[in-house]
Chains A and B, each alone.
Chain A
Amino acid sequence: MTDTTLDRGGFDVRSFIRDKIFLGMSLGEYFRSLLTPGNAVFALILIVGVPIIVYRFAFGIGASSHLTQMNPWGIWIGLDVMSGVALAAGGFTVATAVYVLGLKEYHPIVRPAVLTGFLGYLFVVIGLCADLGRPWKLPVPMAYSFGTGSVMFEVGWCVCLYLIVLALEFSPAAFEWLGLRKAREWAIRMTLALTILGLCLSTLHQSSLGALFLMMPHRLHPLWYSGFVPIFFFVSAIIAGLSMVIVESGLSHRVFKDQVDPKDHGKLDKLTLGLARGAAVVLFAYFFLKLQGLVDSGRFDLLLTPYGYWFLFEMLGFILIPSFLYAIAVRRQNATLARWVAGWTVLGIVVNRLNLSVIAFNWNAPERYVPGFMEIMISVTIITIGIMTFRWIVNRMPVLREDPSYPQH
Chain B
Amino acid sequence: MDLSRRTFIKFAGAAGAAGLAAKPARAEASALRTVNTPAVLVDTTRCVGCRGCEAACGESNLLPPPAQPGSDAVFSTPRRTDPSTYTVVNRAAASSKEGDVRYVKRQCMHCLDPACASACLAKALEKTAAGPVVYHKERCLGCRYCMVACQFDVPKFDFDSPAPYIHKCTFCAERQAQGLQPACASVCPTGALQFGHREELLEEARTRIYQNAGKYVHQVYGEFEAGGTSWLYITDVPFDKLGFRTDLGPTSPPELTRTALAAVPFVLTLWPPLLMGLYTFSKRRAEASKSGEKEAHHD
A residues adjacent to B (C-beta < 8 A): 57-63, 67-70, 72-73, 96-97, 99-105, 131-135, 137-138, 140-141, 145-147, 149-156, 192, 195-196, 199-200, 203-204, 207-208, 211-212, 214-219, 226-228, 230-231, 234-235, 238, 273-274, 277-278, 281-282, 285, 361
Contact = CB atoms under 8 A, between A and B. Distances in A.
Contacts of A100: 275, 278-279, 282
A151 B118 CA distance: 8
A73 B22 CA distance: 26
Contact of A278 (B8, B139, B165): B8
Interface in B130-168: 136, 139-145, 147-149, 151, 153, 156-165
Contacts of B123: 145-147
25 contacts: A59-B162, A61-B164, A72-B144, A101-B7, A133-B163, A137-B142, A140-B124, A141-B122, A141-B141, A145-B124, A145-B136, A145-B139, A154-B264, A195-B275, A200-B268, A200-B271, A204-B267, A207-B22, A215-B254, A230-B24, A235-B18, A274-B7, A278-B8, A281-B12, A285-B12
Contact of B141 (A59, A99, A134, A282): A134
B148 A282 contact: no
Nearest to B118: A149
Interface string B1-37: 0011011101110110011011011110000000000
B215 interface: no
A25 B22 CA distance: 53
B272 A278 contact: no
Nearest to B268: A200
B11 A203 contact: no
Given A215-B119, A215-B257, 14 more contacts: A57-B162, A62-B159, A97-B10, A101-B279, A133-B141, A140-B141, A152-B120, A200-B271, A207-B22, A214-B256, A226-B24, A228-B24, A274-B4, A285-B12
Contact of B7 (A68, A97, A200): A97
A98 to B, nearest CB: 10
B286 A215 contact: no
A69 B145 contact: no
A153 B117 CA distance: 12
Given A141-B121, A235-B15, A278-B8, A149 B261 contact: yes
Nearest to A210: B260
A62 B276 CA distance: 49
A230 to B, nearest CB: 5
B218 interface: no
Interface in B162-186: 162-165
Between A102, A132, A149, A150, the greatest number of chain B beta carbons within 10 A of the residue's beta carbon is seen for A150
B245 A218 contact: yes
Contact of A215 (B21, B153, B163, B253): B253
Contact of A277 (B7, B118, B139, B153): B7
Given A67-B159, A105-B3, A282-B15, A150 B142 contact: no
B85 to A, nearest CB: 11
B147 A200 contact: no
B283 A152 contact: no
A226 B157 CA distance: 28
B47 interface: no
Contacts of A282: 11-12, 15
Contacts of B254: 149, 215
Interface string B257-295: 100110110011001100110110011011000000000
Contacts of A226: 24
A56 B32 CA distance: 43
